[in-house]
Structure 1
Amino acid sequence: MAAKVKVTLVRSVIGRPEKQRRVVKSLGLGKIGSSSIVENVPTMAGQIRKVQHLIKVEEVEI
């Protein structure tokens, strides 16, 4: 079982490239302040790395 992380959108996607907007949407984030819990697998880790300047990441105990 993979660990889980909570990602929260803290910066706006306005003015960002379309690729970054799609990554934010695929992480389950919409508005600033929205959060979602995702598994910490290599594909998600890569997406998180692409938009790390827009989000906050926290470890979650489940």
Structure 2
Amino acid sequence: MLRTNYKRSLLSKKETAKELNISQATIDRLRQSGQIKSKRVGGGIYFTLDEIARFICES
């Protein structure tokens, strides 16, 4: 479902928070605790669709 909604493989922190229906602050806490992995690109925080799907499956 994620792949049909987005034509790219990385989502911003804001987009990821919206998909998971949680706040950006919660995303930051999940990143800091290692529960979800992110990538830093050009000063921004991004998440792969595979990582978001993994997080959903494990939750």
TM-score by length of 1: 0.29
More strand by share: 1
More helix by share: 2
Q: Which has the higher contact order (CA 8 A, sep 6+)?
A: 1
TM-score by length of 2: 0.30
